[in-house]
Structure 1
Amino acid sequence: MRKVKSISIILLLSLILIGCQNNNLNLTDDVTNIEVYHWDSEKLIDIVNDKKFIEKLVNELDNARTHSTANIDWAMPDYKLIFKHNGEALYKIGYCTEVQNFGNGAVGRFWEHDKLYDVSLKLPIE
């Protein structure tokens, strides 16, 4: 009986931990590079190919807390990032050169639609 209780507790804790994990990006393939464009003109600025940086950024974004920006009036991001796998676009997200702090817990550089990702990692560009 004691063994069954222990297993039940372990299973319950595992389910709770799994439920707390974020999976923001839902990428089906590994990102091989990130193309960086000006937000307004869509002019290509740079291409990030550093695998370690890309893995770190994808991991941080995938597991980040997000905060709604739906009711916040602010300028749009400086850049648009396109995460690619061998030339195929997997994901698009905005990037701000300065860390955004909206005072409601939302602090970060990466923005998608109406949410700011709690990630302040700086892109290795410029």
Structure 2
Amino acid sequence: MLKIKLLPVILFLSLIVMGCQNNSQELQNKNLDLNDEVTSIEVYEWNGEELITTIDDKELIEGLINELDNAKTHSTAHIDWALPDYELHFKHNNEVIYEIGYCKDIQRFGDGAVGRYWEFDQLYEVNTKLPVE
């Protein structure tokens, strides 16, 4: 009889523990996972050395990092495309802490892969337009 009364309590506690673990994992699973604050973003031509512009709007930077951190990503490993228009250098003061590609136009690769930001072999589902031109 005691076992039957304890069963719902054990199940309830188990669900709570599993929910806490999932929330903890979600908080830790960030795409960029930057340790330092980004103070500016330098925009360069893709595969070039020409600095196009520097973005230092703190609100824009924080919003973009939040979107990228939480975005779904899609593999581009088997997609033949022209590559991004720009290379973004996320900087903390004068140190580059992260680099990612940026496309002027939204890319649509099928299977839900839609976005402007690209890294190595994945497209981030982020469409935020940057003040580049």
Give the TM-score normalised by the residue count of structure 2: 0.87
Is 1:53–2:60 an aligned residue pair?
yes
Instruction: Kindly tell me the number of residue pairs found equivalent between the two proteins.
Output: 126
**Could you list the runs of 5+ residues in structure 2 that have no partner in the other structure?**
1-5
Deviation at 1:9, TM superposition (A): 1.9
For residues 81 and 17 of structure 1, do their structure 2 counterparts lie closer, same or farther at Cα, with a shift above 3 Å needed? same
Secondary structure of 1:10's match?
A: helix
Q: What is the one-letter code of the residue matched to 1:97?
A: K
How far 1:125 moved relative to its partner? 2.2
Match of 1:29 among 36, 39, 48: 36
| SS at structure 2 position matched to 1:74 | coil
2:24 to 18, 22, 38: 18
From the two aligned structures, give the one with the greater helix fraction: 2
1:103 equivalent in structure 2: 110
Percent identity over paired residues: 55
Shift of residue 42 of structure 1? 2.4
Question: What letter matches 2:111 in structure 1?
Answer: N
State the Cα RMSD in Å: 1.6
Question: Which string of whole-angstrom CA distances, capped at 9 and with x for unpartnered residues, describes residues 43-85 of structure 1?
Answer: 1000000000000000000111100000000001000000000
Is 2:48 the partner of 1:41? yes
Structure 1 gaps, min length 5: none
How big is the shift at 1:26? 1.6
Cα distance in 2 between the residues matched to 1:60 and 1:18: 19
For residue 64 of structure 1, what is the aligned residue in structure 2?
Answer: 71
Q: Distance in 2 between matches of 1:100 and 1:14?
A: 36
TM-score of the aligned structures, taking structure 1 as reference length: 0.92
1:80 alignment partner in structure 2: 87
Instruction: Give runs of ≥4 in structure 1 deviating > 4 Å.
Output: 1-5
